[in-house]
Structure 1
């Protein structure tokens, strides 16, 4: 329960960061786009600095959540960032969400609740050994490379979907390094700076961010966002069970779990059609 609450706090922090980024972007002259002056202007904007602070706070909450719970629990909860962002933007910018957006929020929230209830993720033990890390890294790189290859030979929505899937898997794999770093931190704080997973986390996160930008640039949000929203929690559950011995319910529980995933995808599909969400992603 503590891990879930911390993950919700992380999602709220990320949502607040996105909204404040949007507020700052609206105040920047359009001619500064793709110019170094853009960063200079943003750094001088208090609301943008507040967004950076909220982003850092969200990361701290995510790390704290992973120290208390498993990947299979924490990463799916972070999906709640999407509805939090929409509600905050509607209040800050005084824009009505509309029935479609509210339906998307209900589907996302309901699907997430159903998935977590059916899966009932249980935390596992310590992290994998060197062989386990090598296997997970090789499998992840092969999967991401295959998706990038598909994206490069595909046009339109298919390309955005492939890049979105690759980015989601990348973010999930980044979370495995965060999880391992929290385990090291609990045992010996002085050992963290010399732990290779700490630096692998930075590299994996930057590569995932690069894949995300390619997904957003390759097609519409309607194609990219559902792929990203689906791949992150699903991959996190796989990583959690395979690498950290986390447990989820199987058997007949797979039916409501798949139903929850379907609701999440449907909700993210509707959300990606919202003009307000398009504006938020453009600013972020």
Structure 2
């Protein structure tokens, strides 16, 4: 229960970060996409800096959650980030949350509950070897390379979706490295500056953050947020099982798990199309 509560707090912090970062990123000039100039532009925006502060808070809550529970439990709970995103846009920008939006929240929540109940994730006690991490890194980098290649040849909403998927995968890999880091540091706190997963986690997190900023610049939350919100927990279950020996139920339960993922995708998509997340509505409200 402690891990679940901390994961919810992490989701709320990440949602606030997404709203503030997108508010700043959507005003960036198009010619700064995929350039470090995008970051130098954003760092001068107070809203973006506030988003970074919220992101750091989410990072700390997530690290604490992973110290109490496995990836297969903690990361799926982070899908509640999307309802929190809706609520923050509604409260910060004064956009009314309608009944259809709350219905979408109900569908998403039902999907999450079904996924967790069907999968029955249990924490593993396997310690990944360096070879395990090498394989996981190669697979992750290969998938990201394919996604980024596709993102470079498309524009608009399609690019935003692909970059959202890329950022979700990146944050999932970051969470796996975070899990390894908190496990090692729990036994040897004095080795914080000499433990390689810590540096890998920082690098993966920065790359994922860069991808996320480009996703927000490329399209609206309608395109970005569902792709980001769904890809992270799904990939994290794979990392949890493959690296840490976490277990989920398969067989007949797989049918329910696939149905649950379908509910999460549908609820996320419907929620992203609701009034608080409607294309550019939050941006227009912020600019007036």
TM-score for both structures, normalised by structure 2: 0.82
Q: Which residue of 2 aligns with 1:139?
A: 139
Number of aligned residues: 270
Q: Which residue of 2 aligns with 1:186?
A: 186
Q: Which residue of 2 aligns with 1:29?
A: none
Q: 2:46 is matched with which residue: 28, 42, 46?
A: 42
Contact 1:126 1:183 in 2 (8 A): no
Structure 1 spans left out of the alignment, 5+ residues: 26-33
CA distance in 1, matches of 2:52, 2:172: 22
CA distance in 1, matches of 2:11, 2:39: 30
CA distance in 2, matches of 1:163, 1:40: 23
Contact 1:18 1:280 in 2 (8 A): no
Q: Which residue of 2 aligns with 1:31?
A: none
Q: Which residue of 2 aligns with 1:174?
A: 174
Describe the superposition over 1:20-41 as per-residue Cα deviations: whole angstroms up to 9, x where unpaired.
x48x97xxxxxxxx89797567
Contact 2:165 2:228 in 1 (8 A): yes
Q: CA deviation at 1:73?
A: 0.9
Q: How does 1:114-263 map to 2 (within 5 A)?
A: 114-263=114-263
**1:14 matched to 2:14:** yes
Question: 3-state DSSP class of the match of 2:121?
Answer: coil
Contact 2:171 2:232 in 1 (8 A): yes
Q: CA deviation at 1:109?
A: 1.4
**1:267 matched to 2:267:** yes
Structure 2 spans left out of the alignment, 5+ residues: 25-37
Q: CA deviation at 1:150?
A: 1.9
CA distance in 2, matches of 1:217, 1:18: 12
Describe the superposition over 1:1-24 as per-residue Cα deviations: whole angstroms up to 9, x where unpaired.
2211111121223334556x48x9
CA distance in 2, matches of 1:42, 1:216: 17
Question: 3-state DSSP class of the match of 1:121?
Answer: coil
Q: CA deviation at 1:65?
A: 0.5
Q: CA deviation at 1:209?
A: 1.7
CA distance in 1, matches of 2:80, 2:11: 6
| Structure-2 change in CA distance of 1:36 and 1:164 (3 Å) | closer
Q: Which moved more, 1:236-245 or 1:215-224?
A: 215-224
TM-score for both structures, normalised by structure 1: 0.84
CA distance in 2, matches of 1:144, 1:158: 16
| Structure-2 change in CA distance of 1:103 and 1:279 (3 Å) | same
Q: Which residue of 2 aligns with 1:103?
A: 103
CA distance in 2, matches of 1:59, 1:210: 16
